Amino acid sequence: MTAAAQNLLSLKLAASLGIVIVSPWLTWFKAACVPALVGLAVTPLLVYKLFPPEIKDTPEAPKAAAEKLKKMGPLSQDETMVVATMGLTVILWIFGDKIGMSSVTAAMLGMSLQLLSGVITWQDCLNEKGAWDTLLWFAVLIGMSSQLNQMGFITYLSNTVAGVLTSLALGWQQVFILLHMCYFFIHYLFASQTAQVRRLRTSSLYP
């Protein structure tokens, strides 16, 4: 939905609980557009005030940029194909639900078109070792989390933690802050946000 894998995993987990989000991209856009626009407007001003640039006036920049674009020339065939395939992928990504196409299918279609047109080669895909590494380890990780949950380990762990929190006789505000602090520090040990989403789903720390 936002180029973050954990969001798509969250959609799948929500659907498994009977919570189906219709048009997830449009729903996300409606919810996020106001804070995102405010952030886009405020952040540059805040950074400008906190860390003022040494050079504040560059009247030659537009001319230099125009000359560079002229030197680069028009879009090549490969560049045009990238624009077309990526544009199609984004459109299907946004409106795919209305025609029954999932975001995964839209992404695979866009990549397949680039492979068929020669914009990228299969060797290019094979060279993305980080992506293959992520795919392999996430599959193992999600499988392990499901097995730990089925074997009762996650239930045992969450009940133990819940018991400790109950014995501390803290209010929900203090428990809320404590859990978020734990989540923040655990993130340093296990930095994957997708793995964090899966771990929270298989646990019961929020009875």
H or E element, residue 146: helix 129-150
Residue 190 has pLDDT above 70, yes or no: no
Cα–Cα distance between 108 and 125 in angstroms, integer? 13
Residue 120 lies in a domain: no
Pick the closest to residue 101 from 111, 117, 89 (CA basis): 89
SS3 20: coil
Domain count across the chain: 1
pLDDT in tens, 37-93: 999 999 999 999 999 988 888 888 888 899 998 898 888 888 999 999 999 988 888
Residue 3 lies in a domain: no
Determine the average pLDDT of the residues in 179-199. 70
Residue 193 lies in a domain: yes
Residue 31 lies in a domain: no
Residue 71 lies in a domain: no
Residue 171 domain boundaries: 128-207
Residue 195 lies in a domain: yes
- Burial (CB count <10 Å: 0-12, 13-18, 19+), residue 110: buried
Residue 192 has pLDDT above 90, yes or no: no
pLDDT in tens, 137-146: 777 777 777 7
Q: Are 99 and 105 in contact (CB under 8 A)?
A: no
pTM, two decimal places: 0.55
139 DSSP 8-state letter: H
Cα–Cα distance between 200 and 73 in angstroms, integer? 51
Residue 110 lies in a domain: no
- Burial (CB count <10 Å: 0-12, 13-18, 19+), residue 5: middle
Cα–Cα distance between 161 and 158 in angstroms, integer? 5
Residue 186 lies in a domain: yes
pLDDT in tens, 96-150: 877 888 777 888 898 899 999 888 898 988 888 877 877 777 777 777 777 777 8
Radius of gyration of the chain, Cα coordinates, nearest whole angstrom: 23
